[in-house]
Chain A
């Protein structure tokens, strides 16, 4: 039994080692495919998609990597043909500046509005004070509602 397990372990290690260059290529290809959008089913990457075009593009990615192209070269190849849309991570350009900076602008605006409101509030404390008529009304209501009385509210 022990021999069998040792043998099995050895067998497993050899196969893993033998597959390693291919596995490395596979990992690179998959990483790239996850960054490329499928143009037919636009909310999937070509790694996830089973669309015909996605299969063709995956084949293209693998062929280019096998031919020794770098990942940047494969990405450029796709952008040349399908435009920036094919990238899930859009590059920073004049056209996408609002996309990248928009959230920070919104945050700044929200913080600005928040502090402005705080200052306004600090400046006008009288605003929250009651005038004598209100004060009298409040007293009347509170007394009306005082504990240990059996009067109906």
Chain B
């Protein structure tokens, strides 16, 4: 037995509100899918690069300081022999180093010296200079949280760009090279 009393009401008015909320939710969720929560914007962009003075990988008695790189546009590439994604980006860096566009300094992060040297011997060495951050302290200063990370630093010693994750040929051409060209032209 059915008694319907509500057929005077406009049923459309009831359904429209929830439907619009549903659409808005879908749009927000859709936008959320395109974001990568792993990529946290660095607060260090356009700020002076934190100073460091670290021993070199090949000659531990020699140091490289941030000031030594003054006047140059250069890349600081954070890597480790235990880092799987670093293997993925390594050939890209090797190829890029051959083009001689700019100095690439390798920051060997929380690694063992023997492992790091063996790794470079096995896969090739794209770095102008390799420095060692065994305890990860310079890593903290640079806000490193996921290796590999690559910083682009300008002639005045400011961080201009940070790439988190492996450098792919696409990242190199679309993200890094245009910025490098711009900084080198300035």
Contact = CB atoms under 8 A, between A and B. Distances in A.
Q: Give the bracket for the number of chain A residues in contact with chain B.
A: 20 to 34
B31 to A, nearest CB: 14
Contacts of A141: 1, 3
Nearest to B6: A128
Interface stretch (B41-49, B56-64, B119-127): B41-49
Contacts, number: 51
A80 B137 CA distance: 14
Interface stretch (A2-10, A17-25, A50-58, A66-74): A50-58
A99 to B, nearest CB: 14
B40 interface: yes
Interface stretch (B68-76, B138-146, B171-179): B138-146
A56 B38 CA distance: 19
Given A128-B5, A153-B1, A79 B43 contact: yes
A40 interface: yes
Name the prevailing secondary structure of the B interface residues. loop
Nearest to A126: B8
B90 to A, nearest CB: 21
Contacts of A84: 43
Interface string B133-159: 001110111111110000000000000
A83 B145 contact: no
A94 to B, nearest CB: 15
A57 B144 CA distance: 11
Contact of B145 (A53, A79, A138, A153): A53
A141 B2 CA distance: 9
A128 B5 CA distance: 7
B40 A83 contact: yes
Contacts of B139: 56
21 contacts: A40-B145, A42-B37, A52-B136, A53-B136, A56-B135, A56-B136, A60-B137, A60-B140, A81-B140, A81-B142, A82-B40, A82-B143, A82-B145, A83-B42, A84-B43, A85-B40, A127-B8, A141-B1, A141-B3, A145-B1, A153-B1
Interface of A: 39-40, 42, 52-53, 56-57, 60, 79-85, 127-128, 130, 134, 138, 141, 145, 153
